């Protein structure tokens, strides 16, 4: 995503606006005092994995390439990457 | 409004093909609501014929349904109501859709939504807003506006939606139908366009709680294609536990909340008391930070999940591009709506180095405190209740110029989302002007069955 | 200034990042085939690898096991809890717009390796950490367009990050070489360098000797041989020193190695380094391992090079022989194991030494002969029988070698002793039989002078008499025994 300076300004303003509206201390004092661990996932799972066996997803290369605007030699085509 | 068993009876007394044809005709007759983006008529009729021939069977055999257009499905493009995916024909289907089809149900179309599910009114759709089922000058709610409206208008007995911060519950409340957001991890997210990976859930709109139980039990359960799905736990209950202790959330009943909304909630609380449960006021201090947490965490995850939409392998590619940089920049600029871009920018900002600790990590720490507070509350209370939204459905165009005001309206629904808790919206009456109002029931993790049983027990005298 | 003088004036400091492709059958988060060799573009790509909407990762258990094994080889503890994070940037070979990696909680923590140098010393290089991540796809460039092949996208990698403990090009090469040995011996990778199974990024900076601060560093990326690691380090050192000598500044940047021209050239400035906005991946639950689980998996790691060096030294091999054997084991790993036989005999030092030296002196040179093709015969059996026959003095070492070379290419092994007997290789070790020939030779007038010399004290001439006995017996006499009998009679 190409950012312009004004776009960054908008997002910073939005966040600060939100912060003011909801007094974004986010309970800083509580958080620091209790040494809180962040929650990145609310699923209580761990060690979820699969066996090392090839899976047939039922979707062919041609089906995938058909989704693109332009392809050539079985590959998606894009303007030259410099 | 018809239930699933009503439809099954119709199928027995006529045919699945006829029932599907009727549903399609009904959909066409309410086109002015702009609730549907496409119909999958050909495939639906083909499957209906197979039901009639006995080749497709199951507990939902022949029952028509609609999915929000962020579920990958056959028969029509999966657009996410966005120019970016306007012509995207999915080569596979979402697990939720597969499981319903395995039970014999028939998808007849794709419902409108806020583009990429970013919004609370369906006004952010690239294909026009959906109108409220009760009042066409008002919003359907969002982001699953289309699914709520087709259920309320009796096009189908159930429709699928997604709920990341209220996107099923709020439109359910605005349209007078049941809306279920399950415990995070109940239904597989495989094949659903991702918004925020840590709060996205798949749920359903129905006319009553019993139908919601049925559809949820068909869709739920471990999926090896989604590592965050929980081991099977969802079990419908015949009766709710008696004498439950229910907490009415004080922070959601302030004077900022529409008086008629509060009244509906209080009336529902009285009905709970009459049914033998206790209802008392409770307070959760972390709720004041919920909006701030949500609108830091979710845009961050959005910015990540939308990174794959670059016009290269699929989706919209801007036509007038000379360089690769232009391909990225223009495709994303033209393919996304303003709200998508706003959230991507906010998200990228809070994740950027130098700000990650102050914003994103801090919000996730506050999230821990919120979850702890909910957990403590559920040690004493069985269910928490409150409004779904501070107001009934607002007028089209009323909030579009002030995105932050739109965010603040989510205050009641985002906190169960952040905690991964099950929460449902059930119809709780209408305003004097005839606008539906829902009440929200929130339960502890994996108490989905109990919540629906409680809701079921109070249905009828509405 | 000469090269030596420059080396005395400047210090070079090198850190190496190594990407190791894991030897799994499927990719890290998708069940697509992990073997892209010789496959046509985009033929081993799943919807997950393609980055379709709604796709979710599913972790490959085997990749985790290999990471645990790699940790043992790197003398590094395995984290009890590790997680995955997303590293965001836009590039056509990165379908999701982010790479799934481990930034905050990598699975392999700090360790070290000891790399042997050519002069027999070793250099210890600390490992900062190593983490799992997925590989990107491949771009190929044409006139005004590029094509995207995602076969490799999603391939499981371990990235090993060293501390800047390397201070010479030779040490850099030694580190890369030993890392390769460790990862192949541990079974973590197939080690196919031609197909990029291990790729090295060399970060090099220079500073005046005695300077406290490190200089600005340049990174030379994607080297895929030990030789190019060494050459690139040498080149970079001289390039940077030359700039400093001219009073110019070093630009912190990424460079590529041009193997044809043997130079590095600038690719992109690291100064414009992107902000990757690392974010924990909520689609992937954490990996939680108990110490017991880790120990159980690491117990299956075969004997590693360091341990082999100790064992082979005890047996009696020198360091050149040892390294030859270790490298040959890797070279021929896919068709046969050389070390297994040594391992099996390790309780019998004499036998183990025989076999180890047999490999070094006889088998490996044969394997390296282009006209030789190994078959499916049991080489363990062949070599063991030859050992037994040699130990029983039935075969001289030359005869044993001859038998081996004759039989090594056959599709079926005959009974070795019968074969050797038939071909006349079995040497006579029966005293009585040799005694007759000894007496014959001693009695021969042609031997008279030699006999006289020996009696006079010139012992060396005994070789002439032994030679005569060998001739008379058509090479079958046991020369040691013949010599003994001669001495007894004189």
DSSP SS3 for C308: helix
Q: B317-362 pLDDT, tens per residue? A: 999 889 999 999 999 999 999 999 999 999 998 999 888 888 899 9
What tokens appear for C135 in the block? Answer: 């590989």
CB-based burial, B379-401: b 16+ in 10 Å, e otherwise: eebbbbbbbbbbbbbbebebbbe
φ, ψ of residue C356 to 5 degrees: the values are -60, -45
pLDDT bracket for residue C273 (50, 70, 90) = low
Does the pTM exceed 0.80? yes
Q: Is residue C300 a part of any domain in this protein?
A: no
Domain boundary among C264, C288, C312: C288
Mean pLDDT of chain C: 90
Kindly determine whether residue C279 and residue B85, on different chains, have CB atoms separated by under 8 Å. Answer: no
Torsion angle of C-alpha atoms B448, B454, B456, B459, degrees rounded to 10: -140
Q: Is B352 a catalytic residue?
A: no
Q: B352-375 pLDDT, tens per residue? A: 988 888 889 999 999 999 999 999
If one counts every other C-beta atom within 10 angstroms of the C-beta of residue B54, the result is 8
What tokens appear for A8 in the block? Answer: 């960054």
Is the predicted pLDDT of residue A15 greater than 70, yes or no?
no
The separation between the first and the last C-alpha atoms of chain B, rounded to the nearest angstrom, is 13
Is the predicted pLDDT of residue A30 greater than 70, yes or no?
no
Distance, C-alpha B391 to centroid of its chain: 18
pLDDT in the model for residue C475: 74
What tokens appear for C427 in the block? Answer: 């040497």
pLDDT bracket for residue A11 (50, 70, 90) = low
Is the predicted pLDDT of residue C270 greater than 50, yes or no?
no
Are the C-beta atoms of B420 and B199 separated by less than 8 Å? yes
Mean pLDDT of chain B: 95
Mean pLDDT for the stretch of residues C397-421? 86
Nearest to B351 among C57, C148, C277 (CB): C277
Q: C106-135 pLDDT, tens per residue? A: 999 999 999 999 888 999 999 999 999 999
Per-residue DSSP letter, C456:
T
Q: B180-225 pLDDT, tens per residue? A: 999 999 999 999 999 999 999 999 999 999 999 999 999 999 999 9
What tokens appear for B417 in the block? Answer: 């989302």
Is the predicted pLDDT of residue C476 greater than 80, yes or no?
no
pLDDT bracket for residue A22 (50, 70, 90) = very low
| Nearest CA-CA partner of C393 in C311, C476, C314 | C476
What tokens appear for A9 in the block? Answer: 């300004």
Pairwise CA distance, residues C133 & C298, whole Å:
21
Is the predicted pLDDT of residue A6 greater than 50, yes or no?
no
| Nearest CA-CA partner of A50 in B395, C143, C59 | C59
When computed from its CA atoms, the radius of gyration of chain A, rounded to whole angstroms, is 24
DSSP SS3 for C201: strand
Kindly determine whether residue A52 and residue C43, on different chains, have CB atoms separated by under 8 Å. Answer: no
Q: Is residue C26 a part of any domain in this protein?
A: yes
Do strands A71-72 and B278-282 pair parallel, antiparallel, or not at all (unpaired)?
A: unpaired
Nearest to C56 among B92, B189, B303 (CB): B189
Q: How far is A27 from chain C (nearest CA, A)?
A: 22
Q: Is residue C333 a part of any domain in this protein?
A: no
DSSP SS3 for B79: coil
Are the C-beta atoms of B52 and B17 separated by less than 8 Å? yes
When computed from its CA atoms, the radius of gyration of chain B, rounded to whole angstroms, is 21
Pairwise CA distance, residues B423 & B165, whole Å:
11
Pairwise CA distance, residues B301 & B297, whole Å:
6
Active-site position among B82, B143, B173, B417: B143
Tokens 């471990």 appear where?
A: B222
Alpha helices in C55-96 (DSSP H): 61-73
Q: Is residue C341 a part of any domain in this protein?
A: no
Is the predicted pLDDT of residue B276 greater than 70, yes or no?
yes
φ, ψ of residue A47 to 5 degrees: the values are 50, 50
Mean pLDDT for the stretch of residues C367-386? 86
pLDDT in the model for residue A33: 66
User: Number of structural domains, chain C?
Assistant: 2
Mean pLDDT for the stretch of residues C318-338? 87
pLDDT, greater one: C17 or A4: C17
Instruction: For residue B376, give Cα distances in angstroms to B246, B283, B370, B372.
Output: 14, 12, 10, 6
pLDDT, greater one: C269 or C427: C427
Residues 20-49 of A with CB under 8 A from C: 40-41, 43, 45-49
Mean pLDDT of chain A: 77
Neighbours of chain A (3+ CB pairs under 8 A): B, C
pLDDT in the model for residue C375: 87
What tokens appear for B362 in the block? Answer: 């801090």
Instruction: For residue B368, give Cα distances in angstroms to B167, B250, B379, B384.
Output: 23, 21, 17, 19
Domain boundary assignment for chain B:
1-245+255-284+385-462
Mean pLDDT for the stretch of residues B294-302? 95
pLDDT in the model for residue B404: 67
Alpha helices in C186-318 (DSSP H): 226-245, 291-298, 305-315
Q: How far is A22 from chain B (nearest CA, A)?
A: 6
Do strands C156-162 and C279-280 pair parallel, antiparallel, or not at all (unpaired)?
A: unpaired
pLDDT in the model for residue C416: 84
What tokens appear for B353 in the block? Answer: 């180095």
Distance, C-alpha A66 to centroid of its chain: 25
Pairwise CA distance, residues B377 & B445, whole Å:
12
| Nearest CA-CA partner of C261 in C242, C246, C239 | C239
Is the predicted pLDDT of residue C59 greater than 60, yes or no?
yes
Domain boundary among C242, C270, C288: C288
Pairwise CA distance, residues B198 & B201, whole Å:
9
The separation between the first and the last C-alpha atoms of chain C, rounded to the nearest angstrom, is 70
- How much of chain B exceeds pLDDT 90, in percent? 91
Are the C-beta atoms of B115 and B71 separated by less than 8 Å? no
| Nearest CA-CA partner of C181 in C385, C375, C12, C18 | C18
Q: What angle do CA B14, B15, B17 make, to 5 degrees?
A: 140
pLDDT in the model for residue A4: 39
CATH code, domain with C450: 1.10.10.410
pLDDT in the model for residue C486: 83
Active-site position among B144, B167, B417, B425: B167
Superfamily assignment of B1-245+255-284+385-462 in CATH?
Amidase signature (AS) domain (3.90.1300.10)
Q: Is residue C104 a part of any domain in this protein?
A: yes
What tokens appear for C286 in the block? Answer: 């954490």
Are the C-beta atoms of C283 and B229 separated by less than 8 Å? no
Are the C-beta atoms of C356 and C315 separated by less than 8 Å? yes
Helix and strand tally (H, E) in chain A?
3, 2
Kindly determine whether residue A14 and residue B366, on different chains, have CB atoms separated by under 8 Å. Answer: no
Are the C-beta atoms of B120 and B110 separated by less than 8 Å? no
B400 Cβ contact partners less than 8 Å away, ≥ 6 residues apart = B121, B123, B406
DSSP SS3 for C71: helix
Kindly determine whether residue A57 and residue C47, on different chains, have CB atoms separated by under 8 Å. Answer: yes
pLDDT bracket for residue B462 (50, 70, 90) = very low
pLDDT, greater one: C450 or C76: C76
Long-range contacts of A23-27 (CB under 8 A, 24+ apart): A23/B288, A24/B289, A24/B292, A26/B289, A26/B292, A26/B293, A26/B362, A26/B363, A26/B365, A26/B366, A27/B286, A27/B289, A27/B366, A27/B369
Q: Could you tell me the sign of the dihedral formed by the alpha carbons of C289, C290, C292, C295, in that order?
A: positive
Is the predicted pLDDT of residue B102 greater than 80, yes or no?
yes
Q: Is the peptide bond before B143 cis (omega within 30 degrees of 0)?
A: yes
Q: What angle do CA C92, C97, C102 make, to 5 degrees?
A: 120
Domain boundary among C261, C288, C315: C288
Per-residue DSSP letter, C166:
B
Q: Is residue C173 a part of any domain in this protein?
A: yes
What tokens appear for C281 in the block? Answer: 């991946």
Pairwise CA distance, residues C25 & C61, whole Å:
11
Are the C-beta atoms of B146 and B171 separated by less than 8 Å? no
Pairwise CA distance, residues B117 & B120, whole Å:
8
For C261, the domain range is 3-288
Pairwise CA distance, residues C46 & C27, whole Å:
10
Instruction: For residue B67, give Cα distances in angstroms to A28, B241, C12, C384, C403.
Output: 41, 32, 63, 71, 77
pLDDT, greater one: C353 or B138: B138
- CB < 8 Å to C56, chain B: 189-190, 194, 225-227
The chain A residue lying nearest C149, using CA atoms, is: A75
Kindly determine whether residue A80 and residue C58, on different chains, have CB atoms separated by under 8 Å. Answer: no
Kindly determine whether residue C275 and residue B224, on different chains, have CB atoms separated by under 8 Å. Answer: no
Q: Is B83 a catalytic residue?
A: no
The chain B residue lying nearest C149, using CA atoms, is: B313
Pairwise CA distance, residues A51 & C471, whole Å:
66
pLDDT in the model for residue B45: 98
Residue B432, Cβ density class (10 Å: 0-12 exposed, 13-18 middle, ≥19 buried): exposed
Residue B248 belongs to what H/E stretch? strand B245-249
Q: B17-57 pLDDT, tens per residue? A: 999 999 999 999 999 999 999 999 999 999 999 999 999 99
Tokens 């033998």 appear where?
A: B276
Distance, C-alpha C349 to centroid of its chain: 24
Q: Is residue C301 a part of any domain in this protein?
A: no
B263 Cβ contact partners less than 8 Å away, ≥ 6 residues apart = none
Nearest to C41 among A1, A50, A75 (CB): A75
The chain A residue lying nearest B318, using CA atoms, is: A69
Nearest to C283 among B227, B352, B356 (CB): B227
Are the C-beta atoms of C355 and C311 separated by less than 8 Å? no
Q: C164-195 pLDDT, tens per residue? A: 999 999 999 999 999 999 999 999 999 999 99
Is the predicted pLDDT of residue A12 greater than 60, yes or no?
no
Q: Is residue C473 a part of any domain in this protein?
A: yes
- How much of chain B exceeds pLDDT 70, in percent? 99
Q: Is B147 a catalytic residue?
A: no
């Amino acid at each position: 995503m190409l950012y312009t300076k004004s776009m960054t300004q908008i997002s910073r303003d939005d966040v600060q606006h939100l912060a003011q509206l909801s007094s974004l201390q986010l309970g800083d004092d509580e958080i620091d005092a209790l040494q809180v661990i962040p929650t990145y996932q609310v699923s209580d799972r761990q060690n979820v994995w699969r066996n090392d066996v090839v899976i047939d997803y039922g979707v062919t290369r041609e089906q995938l390439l058909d989704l693109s605007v332009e392809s050539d030699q079985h590959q998606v085509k894009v303007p030259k990457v410099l | 409004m018809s239930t699933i068993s009503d439809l099954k009876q119709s199928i027995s007394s006529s045919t699945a093909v006829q029932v599907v044809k009727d549903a399609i005709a009904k959909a066409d007759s309410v086109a002015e609501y702009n609730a549907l983006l496409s119909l999958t008529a050909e495939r639906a009729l083909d499957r209906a014929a197979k039901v009639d021939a006995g080749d497709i069977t199951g507990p939902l055999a022949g029952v028509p349904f609609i999915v929000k257009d962020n579920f990958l499905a056959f028969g029509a493009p999966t657009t996410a109501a966005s120019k970016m995916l306007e012509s995207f024909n999915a080569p596979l289907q979402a697990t939720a859709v597969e499981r319903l089809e395995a039970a014999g149900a028939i998808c007849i179309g794709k419902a409108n939504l806020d583009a990429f599910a970013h919004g609370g009114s369906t006004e952010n759709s690239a294909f026009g807003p959906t109108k409220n089922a009760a009042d066409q000058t008002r919003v359907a709610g969002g982001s699953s506006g289309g699914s709520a409206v087709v259920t309320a208008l009796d096009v189908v007995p159930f429709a699928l939606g997604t709920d990341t911060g209220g996107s099923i519950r709020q439109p359910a409340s605005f349209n007078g139908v049941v809306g279920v957001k399950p415990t995070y991890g109940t239904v597989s997210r495989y094949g659903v366009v991702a918004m925020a990976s840590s709060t996205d859930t798949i749920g359903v709109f129905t006319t009553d709680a019993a139908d919601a139980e049925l559809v949820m039990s068909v869709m739920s359960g471990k999926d090896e294609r989604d590592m965050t799905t929980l081991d099977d736990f969802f079990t419908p209950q015949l009766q709710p536990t008696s004498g439950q202790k229910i907490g009415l959330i004080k922070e959601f009943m302030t004077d900022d909340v529409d008086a008629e909304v509060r009244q509906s909630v209080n009336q529902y609380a009285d009905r709970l008391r009459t049914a033998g449960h206790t209802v008392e006021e409770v307070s959760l201090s972390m709720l004041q930070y919920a909006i701030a947490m949500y609108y830091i965490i979710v845009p961050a995850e959005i910015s990540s999940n939308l990174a794959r939409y670059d016009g290269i392998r699929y989706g919209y590619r801007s036509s007038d591009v000379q360089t690769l940089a232009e391909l990225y920049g223009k495709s994303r600029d033209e393919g996304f709506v303003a709200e998508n871009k706003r959230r991507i920018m906010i998200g990228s900002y809070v994740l950027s180095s130098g700000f990650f600790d102050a914003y994103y990590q801090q919000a996730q720490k506050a999230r821990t405190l919120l979850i702890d507070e909910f957990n403590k509350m559920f040690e004493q209370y069985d269910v928490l209740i409150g409004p779904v939204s501070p107001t009934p459905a607002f007028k089209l165009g009323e909030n579009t110029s002030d995105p932050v005001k739109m965010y603040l309206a989510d205050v009641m629904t985002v906190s169960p989302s952040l905690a991964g808790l099950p929460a449902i919206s059930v119809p709780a009456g209408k305003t004097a002007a005839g606008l539906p109002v829902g009440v929200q029931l929130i339960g502890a993790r994996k108490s989905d069955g109990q919540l629906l049983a409680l809701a079921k027990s109070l249905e009828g005298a509405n | 200034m000469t090269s030596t003088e420059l080396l005395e004036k400047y210090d070079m400091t090198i850190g190496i990042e190594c990407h190791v492709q894991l030897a799994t059958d499927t990719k890290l988060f998708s069940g697509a085939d992990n073997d892209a060799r010789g496959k046509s573009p985009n033929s081993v790509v799943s919807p997950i690898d393609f980055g379709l909407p709604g796709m979710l990762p599913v972790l490959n258990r085997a990749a985790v096991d290999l990471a645990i094994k790699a940790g043992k080889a790197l003398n590094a503890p395995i984290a009890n809890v590790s997680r995955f994070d997303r590293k965001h940037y836009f590039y056509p070979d990165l379908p999701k717009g982010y790479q799934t990696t481990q930034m905050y909680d990598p699975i392999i923590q700090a360790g070290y390796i000891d790399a042997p140098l050519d002069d027999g010393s070793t250099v210890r290089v600390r490992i900062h950490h190593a983490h799992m991540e997925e590989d990107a796809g491949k771009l190929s460039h044409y006139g005004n367009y590029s094509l995207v092949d995602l076969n490799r996208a999603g391939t499981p990698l371990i990235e090993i990050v060293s501390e800047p403990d390397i201070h010479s090009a030779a040490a850099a090469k030694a580190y890369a070489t030993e890392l390769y040995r460790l990862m192949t011996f541990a079974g973590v990778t197939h080690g196919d360098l031609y197909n990029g199974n291990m790729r090295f990024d060399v970060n090099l900076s220079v500073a005046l000797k005695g300077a406290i601060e490190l200089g600005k560093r340049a990174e030379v990326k994607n080297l895929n041989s030990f030789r190019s690691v060494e050459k690139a380090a040498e080149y970079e050192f001289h390039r940077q020193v030359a700039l400093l000598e001219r009073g110019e500044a070093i630009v912190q940047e990424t460079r590529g190695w041009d193997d044809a021209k043997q130079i590095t050239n600038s690719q992109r400035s690291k100064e414009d380094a992107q902000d990757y906005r690392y974010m924990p991946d909520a689609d992937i639950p954490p990996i939680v391992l108990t110490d017991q689980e880790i120990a159980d998996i690491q117990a299956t790691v075969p004997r590693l090079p360091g341990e082999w060096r100790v064992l082979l030294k005890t047996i009696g091999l020198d360091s050149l022989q040892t390294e030859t054997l270790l490298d040959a084991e890797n070279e021929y790993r896919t068709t046969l194991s050389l070390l297994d036989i040594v391992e099996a005999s390790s309780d019998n030092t004499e036998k183990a030494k025989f076999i180890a030296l047999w490999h070094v002196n006889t088998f490996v040179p044969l394997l390296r002969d282009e006209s030789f093709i190994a078959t499916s015969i049991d080489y363990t059996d062949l070599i063991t029988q030859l050992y037994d026959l040699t130990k029983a003095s039935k075969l001289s070492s030359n005869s044993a070698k001859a038998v081996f070379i004759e039989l090594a290419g056959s599709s079926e092994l005959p009974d070795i002793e019968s074969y050797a007997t038939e071909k006349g290789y079995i040497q006579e070790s029966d005293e009585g039989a040799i005694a007759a020939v000894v007496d014959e030779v001693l009695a021969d007038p042609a031997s008279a002078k030699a006999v006289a010399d020996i009696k006079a004290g010139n012992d060396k001439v005994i070789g002439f008499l032994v030679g005569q006995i060998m001739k008379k017996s058509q090479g079958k006499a046991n020369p040691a025994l013949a010599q003994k009998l001669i001495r007894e009679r004189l």
